[in-house]
Amino acid sequence: MLTYILQASAVLKNVTGLQPVDTMAYPFDYKFIVKCTGCKTEHNNPVEMNRFDKFEITGFRREANFLFKCRECRRERYATLTRLPNKIDQDGCQTPILKISTHGIELLEFIPDDQFECQSSLSQRVIQEIGLEEGEWYDFDEEGNGDVGIHDVKWEIVLSR
Ligand SMILES: [Zn+2]
């Protein structure tokens, strides 16, 4: 059982509170490149997991948020996600976003291709539908009459104990 923390840093221009849009109505799909710790296969196709899916683990009276059968060794691998109560507010400061308790998989890389939100410090407006695949995002806040943006987004997956 390996527990990981997904953390991120960014440089913010006139925005605060950057975070994934991750609610029951709009679950964030966390996408990872994973490696099976049993047979050491690195899976080329990323896998997606969210906090709200529930799967029963075979042979256990327990549930996980993500269940996956390794195509090489056919063993069942699973993970459970916990959103940590943090938002990215400070430039360049690595902020823990998500805890992922895994069984049988190693998380190699995070691919941020779902929706993020933040708040404009010019108008206090919440801005959604932000994509960070390219590691940056820029817009003009009409209400606040100024530029808003996010750049130098860096993701890290660290082992927790
Ligand atoms: Zn395997």
In whole angstroms, give the CA distance from residue 103 to residue 31: 17
Q: Measuring CA to CA, how many Å separate 98 from each of 4, 107, 139, 145?
A: 8, 13, 26, 33
pTM for this model (two decimals):
0.94
* Residue pLDDT, tens place only, 45-68: 999 999 999 999 988 888 999 999
Instruction: Calculate how far, in angstroms, residue 104's C-alpha sits from the geometric centre of ligand 1.
Output: 8
| 109 alpha carbon – ligand 1 mean position (Å) | 18
What is the DSSP code (8-state) at residue 88?
Answer: B
Asked whether the beta carbons of 152 and 8 are under 8 A apart, the reply is no
Q: Which structural domain range is residue 22 located in? A: 2-160
pLDDT tens digits, one per residue of 30-46? 999 999 999 999 999 99
Residues 89-107: tens digit of each pLDDT: 999 999 999 999 999 999 9
Q: Are 108 and 32 in contact (CB under 8 A)?
A: yes
Cα(38) to centroid(ligand 1), Å: 5
The answer to whether 90 and 119 are in contact (CB under 8 A) is no
Alpha helices in 10-140 (DSSP H): none
User: Residue 150, by phi and psi: left (phi above 0), alpha (psi -120 to 50) or beta?
Assistant: beta
How many domains would you assign to the chain? 1
Ligand 1 centre distance from Cα of residue 72 (Å): 5
Is there a contact between 66 and 54 (Cβ–Cβ < 8 Å)? no
